Structure 1
Amino acid sequence: MYCQLWHVGRVAHPDAPKQKLAGQPVYAPSAVAARGGKFRHIPGSPGYVTSTEVDDPTILINQFKEAAINAKKAGLMELNVVHGANGYLVHQFLDSTSNIRTDKWGGSVENRCRFGLETLKALKEVFGNNVSVKLSPCGGYNDMGMPLQETLDTFSHFISEADKLELSYICLLRYYPMLDVEFDGKKRATQHDVLTSYRPYVKANKLFLNAGVQPKEGEQLVESGKIDGVVMGINWLTHPDLIKRLQHGKRLDNVPDMIHLYGRNDRSDDWRIGYVDYSVAVY
């Protein structure tokens, strides 16, 4: 069982129930608001707000470590995954559009990578080598993305350094249209070939690929040695019998109910819809 540890950083909202319960402001690397935003659990249609720049990022690293300790106390012994993708906190430190700090946590590639790498080291103190990280270099989602060369420089450095930490695996999300957003008539993501760009920097760890990888393609990539495994999200969610379908060569033809997955704003809805109501194939 894999436990994914998150901190959403600047894409939280001060009116969110759990944010109020925390009694803390919306912390992020810098006071830079993300464009867009939609909160299903807050009345009305609030967008993202300008976050509070955290004075000492080690406070947040310690929160990640505390979360790992709590997960272990709860019985999770196998693995912790740091969510460093999709515009959440680790990603915000990596990206120069959301991290405009001038101290040791921002500016240069090395400084912007520091937060994520130190977070991984902190979790290794709890779970040893049973720690991994998920990254989305293309950006897009949650208003993320840098110019191509800066993207290549940043993520190649981060992946190279993370590879030295003897992690369980490194997971890369390739470009996925569903995770891209549009502002002023332009797509936000920095589209490039993620696997080709960063595969050379993963030498000591296993490499997993995510985002729209279908079974046949995934099988070919593993057999060719380009990756060690495939992470499936939407296909797993929409096919409760995914393993059997793969074993029996059945089509993955359940269409995700995106309205209920991402668009619900009525808490009186039946929360099973879009999650556990997909059909099972006939064998």
Structure 2
Amino acid sequence: MTDTSDILFRPHRMGAVTLLNRVAMAPMTRSRAAQPGDVPTELTAAYYAQRAGAGVIVSEGTQVSRVGQGYAFTPGIYSPEQTAGWKTVTDAVHARGGRIYAQLWHVGRVSHPLLHGAQPVAPSAVNGGGQAAFVVDDKGPRMEPSPVPRALSTDEVRAVVQEFAQAARNAKAAGFDGVELHGANGYLIEQFLRAESNRRTDAYGGNLENRLRFLAEVTEAVAGVFGADRVGVRISPFLPLNGIGAEEDAAELFLAVAKMLDGLGVAYLHTSEASPMEVPPGTDPVPQDFRSALRQAFRGTIMVAGGYDGARARAILETGLADVVAFGRPYISNPDLAERLARDLPWADADRSTFYGGGEQGYTDYPAHADAAE
């Protein structure tokens, strides 16, 4: 897959790391961590190693603390056992020539006491509605509405920043090539960014500069571990999820985020977009003027994700408004997706009933395309 006439398969320098192609595997929750302890397993290692043909893999969200968990069976990166589990994963990916970044995650208010025995925390005691945690107890697995969270004190906010820093140290010890901060999908970082969920009156709330502060401090903390040139941040400016709405000033807010991150020298900005199936045909889920402004505001790598196929991926790369395209669900059932894209091979369909939880079925048992091995 070295045909440089195909823009998807031209090498790309992303901060300190050279990607052999511009196909990324997007982070996807699969809920298969070993219990107790939410530890990645040998099966996790096999799953990611099968997909090492991507230019870079971004791991599933991995919580930086127990209270940062919002879904049962998701892996953490705050304990020695979890770190050792992830080391098995990175070793397997590197053995196949791949690159893998850890997505560091704190869900904030999108949680439930049944997961960790505590009231969820957030910038403010605001429950936006439409948010639920995945819990498992003697009543069985189910989605449970998140309760009103407890507002973090100023000192507690600073403590969470240090939880991210420790998670980055663990990720480095586990052998990850870098880290991505999960600042999208209505989780804790985005809760600080958005005025509707952040009603604080201290240095972390109120005006735009204050609402950017938490992300800035977390970014600086993890950059102090890896170097900014091995750090990325995921955002979802126009994708309302988990009680976060599409604010009228979303473009202004996230251009400010981009400029701030550019000033900190981070390697990449990862935008999570709505799938084209969720918008009228012929329209772009992201305003074109925002794409152009984002390119002006951020000088590093721009990664995009959201329902892309090969044609759309190549088209946006050709515009110069993105440098890398991340594929999510297609990677579930096509472990050799990069090869299929390079050779224009058909994609296998995924079994949605096996997306979350379980074992090998629907996880590591999808075969590579028979023609790809010829």
SS at match of 1:10: coil
TM-score w.r.t. length of structure 2: 0.64
Question: SS in structure 1 opposite 2:363?
Answer: coil
Which residue does the alignment assign to 1:122? 221
Contact 2:112 2:133 in 1 (8 A): no
Counterpart residue number, 1:251: 346
Cα contact 1:92–1:99 (8 A) shared by 2: yes
**Higher strand content, 1 or 2:** 2
C-alpha deviation, 1:255, in angstroms = 2.8
CA distance, structure 2, for counterparts of residue 87 and residue 115 of structure 1? 15
Structure 2 unmatched ranges of 5 or more: 1-99, 280-284
| Residues 239 and 273, structure 2, Cα contact 8 Å, conserved in 1 | no
CA distance in 1, matches of 2:183, 2:276: 19
SS at match of 2:302: strand
Q: Report the 3-state secondary structure (helix = DSSP H, G, I; strand = E; otherwise coil) of the residue aligned with 1:91.
A: helix
CA RMSD of aligned residues (A): 2.3
The structure showing larger relative contact order (alpha-carbon pairs under 8 Å, at least 6 residues apart) is 2
Deviation at 1:179, TM superposition (A): 8.9
Q: Which residue of 1 aligns with 2:102?
A: 3
How far did residue 192 of structure 1 move? 4.5
- C-alpha distance after superposition, 1:85-135 (max 9, x if no partner): 111110111112211112221121221111111111111110112111000
So what's the TM-score if we normalise by structure 1? Answer: 0.83
**In 2, Cα distance between equivalents of 1:177 and 1:225:** 20
The one-letter code matched in structure 2 to 1:52 is R
Pairing partner for 2:172 from 49, 53, 72 = 72
- Aligned to 1:227, which of 322, 326, 331? 322
Matches within 5 A, 1:37-186: 37-42=132-137, 43=139, 45-56=143-154, 57-76=157-176, 78-128=177-227, 129-148=229-248, 150-176=249-275
Give the fraction of aligned pairs with identical amino acids, expressed as a percent. 32
Deviation at 1:38, TM superposition (A): 4.3
- Runs of 4+ aligned residues of structure 1 deviating over 4 Å after TM superposition are 177-180
1:209 aligns to what?
Answer: 304
**Cα 1:53–1:94 shift into 2, 3 Å:** same
SS of residue in 1 equivalent to 2:332: helix
TM-aligned CA deviation for residue 147 of structure 1:
2.5
Deviation at 1:45, TM superposition (A): 4.8
> What's the CA shift for 1:279?
4.7
State the match for 2:331 in structure 1.
236
Q: Distance in 1 between matches of 2:207 and 2:277?
A: 30
Q: C-alpha distance in 1, partners of 2:312/2:269? A: 19
